[in-house]
Structure 1
Amino acid sequence: MVRLPLTPAEVERGQRLGALLRRARGERSMLEIALDARVSPETLRKIESGRVATPAFPTIAAIADVLGLSLDAVWAEINQPEHGARPTHTGRNARKQLTS
Structure 2
Amino acid sequence: MEGRQRRSFTEEYKRQAAELVLSSGRSMTSVAKELCLRDSVLRRWVEKLRQEPASATWHPLTQAAPVPADQASEIARLRQENERLRMERDILELDCFLYLH
With structure 1 as the length reference, what TM-score do the two structures score? 0.30
- Look at both structures and tell me which one has the larger radius of gyration over its CA atoms: 2
Higher helix proportion, which one? Answer: 2
With structure 2 as the length reference, what TM-score do the two structures score? 0.30
